[in-house]
Structure 1
Amino acid sequence: MTDLDKLYRSTDAVGLAQLVQAGQVSPAELVEAGIRAVEAMNPALNAIVHKLYVDARNAAGSVAPGASPLAGVPFLLKELASSWKGAPLTNSSRFLQGQVAQEDSVISARLRAAGLLLLGKSNAPENGWSITTEPVLYGPTVNPWDPARTAGGSSGGTAVAVATGMIPIAEASDGAGSIRVPASCCGVVGLKPSRGRVTLAPFADYWAGGAYFLCNSRTVRDTAAYLDVIGGAMAGDPYAIAMPGQPYLDTIARPPSALTVGVVTASPDGNPVHPEIVALIEQVAAVLGAMGHTVIEHEMGHDAAAAWKTYTDMTCVETAAMFAFLETVVGHPVTPEEVEPVTWAIIERGRNTSAIDHAGRIEAVRQIGRGVAQDLDRFDITITPVLTQPPRPVGYYDMSLSDLDTYNALWSDSVFMSPFNMSGQPAISLPLGMAAGLPAGVQFVARMGDEARLLALSAALEQAMPWSDRRPPSAT
């Protein structure tokens, strides 16, 4: 391994961009280092399913150093929904195999303008509907800490690539924990931003406001910089929050003043939480208390099981409608042989739901979200587990199941995730500890629109409980 390779794999995205701006390394050299890292590590992990090396090499020469805090840095897009002109766009589904994006999404256009260099696309489960990454089309992505364990999902390929140093930063998306769950499983940072913070254009909405796009990274400052690059609503977006007057990358330099912090360790569905995860939450709470914050124990009061059923039934109709659109792109109706059994069950349930029932569920989801936000409004920050259990074995979240309710019940491990997809609040997973020898994230939730305070506290905890030296065996 060359000195440049070591530098590339150990330096975060902001640090690499600073080296580019200082003239110490070129974007082309970073692209080649990224390619070497991918070729060395990806075969054993299956994190990246489309390699776009030629495009990255061609684009490297046109980067303007300093154009953004991430200019000249290689990155990945997730193989789900994100449209980069000329790149594959399959949603990890056999139904869409061979499809290629005809245009950039707005997020992609912003990333191009910021000087990031697309090295490839990361693995995801079919249509993102899993908290593991094991699509039939591309095969499973495995955890870099233990290949017998899940990397999480649906942004599992992203989290593995970042955790191992194949790439310093990569896109992730989240409809029910899909940024935060793989961040926890792999030991990286994962922020789900506030609803309306990042436009979904050319689409107006996903899942009645339940889906969000951002990234996984190894440092808080990288996540802040990425949000600075892609953040911002478009005129006419159904949910829109104005970007702050100061870049997030600047606001994280100042620790937040004394906060009131709610601490949740009990699962709202009554299922047990692994004792080492409870101990980690309690350890973090003690650190926050020592930092001068007021820490208060809290139990979430919503009916988690009923909320999950309402949310998933609502998303079935959204998915069926999406496939109706995709049929016009592919040119024929989707068949059971072209999708995984769970996906077919989702489509069928969506097709058989009345419009009146669907409208009622959207209203119910919004009421649930309002209740969650009001329950936690007394706190500046709330902390919870990300997952109630350490990463499960590969194959546990089985998309070959045809009984949708049986499959959805497996998601009880992520009971702390979907409430904040419904409420719209920003929530971040930080890699603050381990459980059963594997990474365990802690979730921090702020009020709607308060990413600045959330990121500032995260940066302070990164100093108090550093994780930079904690790397998976496969990264060495």
Structure 2
Amino acid sequence: MRVDEYLRHDAVGLAELVRAGEVTSTELLDVAIERAEQVNPALNAIILPMYEEARRLAATAPEGPLGGVPFLLKDLFQDYAGYPTSCGNRALRHVPASGHAEVVHRWLKAGLVPLGKTNVPEFGAKAVTEPLEFGPTRNPWNTGHTPGGSSGGSAAAVAAGITPAAGANDGGGSIRIPAAACGLFGLKPGRGRVPFGPLRGEPMNGASVNGVLTRTVRDSAALLDVMAGSEPTSPYPIAPPERPYAQEVGHPPGRLRIGFSQRSPLGTRVHPEAVRAVREAAALLEELGHEVVEAEPAIDGRSLTEDFLTMWYGSMAALVDGIKADTGCADDDFEPDTLMLAAMGRARSSADYVRGHDRWNQHILALADFHSRYDLLLTPTIAGPPVTIGRLDPPTWLRTAERLLVRTRTERIVTATDMVATEVMNNLTATPFTMTANLTGTPAMSVPLHWTDSGLPLGVQFIAAAAGEGLLLRLAAQLEQARPWERRRPTGVPFPTSVSSRDGAAS
């Protein structure tokens, strides 16, 4: 198989070719590695190749619904036995995992062939993928821009055609943000739908979930069928879907009532391109027969963000302290920003944490009230086009102050000055729309319906009620058919002429 032939198929299509005997899993892997060697030097999407292990797996002719399809793992909480899960961190870079994560077990059982691990910001703590230890990942549509985060390495790899799908996870938007930035489909499952064990039961109070990034809706549906279902470490089982998610694709969604808003929950500026993306999506939905009304849930966006950050800071403090205890590493093995976030967590009391978590229920009730009147909420996924590399770096003065505070053990000063909290909030103005679904535990998706005048993708977000993954997939498939995006190709990396075009549109 040639690279141009490989790029014409999604994961489901490649698996069909393997089952039909038209190509072997080893041949698919060879092409995927060839494609990785073509584009990864410009993107820095894969930071840990696993080619020999992948060749061993491919040689066994793996069976399963996606047997033989090349795949990538996100280098954050997706452990593969014998290989490190660095989480973008220096101290963990050479610490091999003792076993597979449950979701990795399920991917392997489905026949996927992981050929490497993808770049992440340290501990997934940012909406850009620019770890100091591994360097930035670049967007295939324009390598001067970010692919988003924290699943930016996976998004860049899929958009560039290294694999048709890749592992991702989402604790504050980390599937949807890079999907929006890279022209991909990104579905965040609801709380408890996909396991996070066996070492973790419900990280970040259930705000964080595993998932994938794909070019097609049917791939995400097929992979959700593979991933979904409880495990022994799941805090509670949830009801399975009425039918396989793959069967939702092509099933009519019915006439939906959809509320839309382009207003930032933080009251901050939204780029005209993001407003345009939502308005165009609303018009398309009306063309398809849906009722679209300008409406939003009665949620105080700043209150929700503060409650989310209380959990985020506390989780970062526990993570840093645990890694220090387990490895014996020191502060120098963490990025200054990470240490400051951890310091913010330590400065809050357990009572602060519990009160903040108790308020989550208020936001859940407000969103449930909205969904009693509307099937879905439509918003921008991100507040503007993908930013340039380094754009969200802390200012030099803050980086200097962070290093000084760590060196002198005076990190608690940050709680008095609020300088770190202010900088965190400033960064969140670029991604104010995605946290709602994480905190409320509802499923959400980013759909690639818009490209800016400069050729950058800019997805729109839909948030469903609890257990609404099937509805999201039905609507996504309808939108995909109405405005196909799978054949659009990034212009920042080379593509064979038979699968590319000058303007990035389908050929």
1:268·1:301 contact (CA, 8 Å) conserved in 2? no
Tell me the SS of whatever aligns to 2:310.
helix
2:10·2:164 contact (CA, 8 Å) conserved in 1? yes
1:13 positional shift: 0.5
Whichever structure has more strand as a proportion of its residues is 1
Letter in 2 for 1:445: I
Hey, what's the Cα distance between the residues in 2 that align with 1:279 and 1:128?
29
Q: Deviations over 1:206-250 (max 9, x none)?
A: 111110110000000000011011111124622432222421111
**Equivalent pairs, count:** 470
Hey, what's the Cα distance between the residues in 2 that align with 1:370 and 1:324?
34
Hey, what's the Cα distance between the residues in 2 that align with 1:211 and 1:23?
39
Superposition TM-score, scaled by structure 1 size: 0.95
Q: Does 2:443 correspond to 1:422?
A: no
User: In structure 2, which of residues 246, 252, 261 is the aligned counterpart of residue 255 of structure 1?
Assistant: 252
Tell me the SS of whatever aligns to 2:114.
strand
Counterpart in 1 of 2:390?
Answer: 395
User: In structure 2, which of residues 128, 141, 144 is the aligned counterpart of residue 132 of structure 1?
Assistant: 128
1:256 positional shift: 1.0
User: In structure 1, which of residues 84, 87, 91 is the aligned counterpart of residue 87 of structure 2?
Assistant: 91
Q: Deviations over 1:337-369 (max 9, x none)?
A: 111111001111222321111111111233323
User: In structure 2, which of residues 58, 62, 76 is the aligned counterpart of residue 60 of structure 1?
Assistant: 58
Hey, what's the Cα distance between the residues in 1 that align with 2:309 and 2:61?
43
Tell me the SS of whatever aligns to 2:458.
strand
- Which ranges of structure 1 fall in alignment gaps of 5 or more residues? none
User: Aligned ranges for residues 14-29 of structure 1 at < 5 Å?
Assistant: 14-29=12-27
Letter in 2 for 1:33: V
Hey, what's the Cα distance between the residues in 2 that align with 1:97 and 1:291?
49
Q: Does 2:448 correspond to 1:447?
A: no
Q: Which moved more, 1:295-304 or 1:109-118?
A: 295-304
1:313 positional shift: 1.9
1:268·1:299 contact (CA, 8 Å) conserved in 2? no
Counterpart in 2 of 1:295?
Answer: 292
Counterpart in 2 of 1:43?
Answer: 41
1:192·1:427 contact (CA, 8 Å) conserved in 2? yes
Hey, what's the Cα distance between the residues in 1 that align with 2:336 and 2:205?
24
Hey, what's the Cα distance between the residues in 2 that align with 1:309 and 1:205?
20
- Which ranges of structure 2 fall in alignment gaps of 5 or more residues? 403-418, 496-507
Q: Does 2:308 correspond to 1:311?
A: yes
User: Aligned ranges for residues 365-380 of structure 1 at < 5 Å?
Assistant: 365-380=360-375
Letter in 1 for 2:474: A
- For the aligned residues, what is the CA RMSD? 1.5
Where in structure 1 do 4 or more consecutive aligned residues deviate above 6 Å?
none
Q: Does 2:403 correspond to 1:408?
A: no
Q: Which moved more, 1:213-222 or 1:242-251?
A: 242-251
Q: Which moved more, 1:338-347 or 1:301-310?
A: 301-310
User: Aligned ranges for residues 54-453 of structure 1 at < 5 Å?
Assistant: 54-65=52-63, 67-68=64-65, 70-202=66-198, 203-235=200-232, 237-330=234-327, 332=328, 334-398=329-393, 401=399, 402=402, 403-409=419-425, 410-437=427-454, 438-453=456-471
In structure 2, the CA distance between the partners of 1:26 and 1:120, relative to structure 1 (3 Å rule), is same
1:306 positional shift: 2.4
2:77·2:101 contact (CA, 8 Å) conserved in 1? no
Tell me the SS of whatever aligns to 2:132.
coil
Hey, what's the Cα distance between the residues in 2 that align with 1:214 and 1:16?
20
1:205 positional shift: 1.2
1:13·1:222 contact (CA, 8 Å) conserved in 2? yes
Identity %: 39
In structure 2, the CA distance between the partners of 1:25 and 1:391, relative to structure 1 (3 Å rule), is same
Tell me the SS of whatever aligns to 2:167.
strand
In structure 2, the CA distance between the partners of 1:171 and 1:236, relative to structure 1 (3 Å rule), is closer
Q: Deviations over 1:295-354 (max 9, x none)?
A: 111134322122212211222112222233323431x1x433111111001111222321
Hey, what's the Cα distance between the residues in 2 that align with 1:8 and 1:471?
14
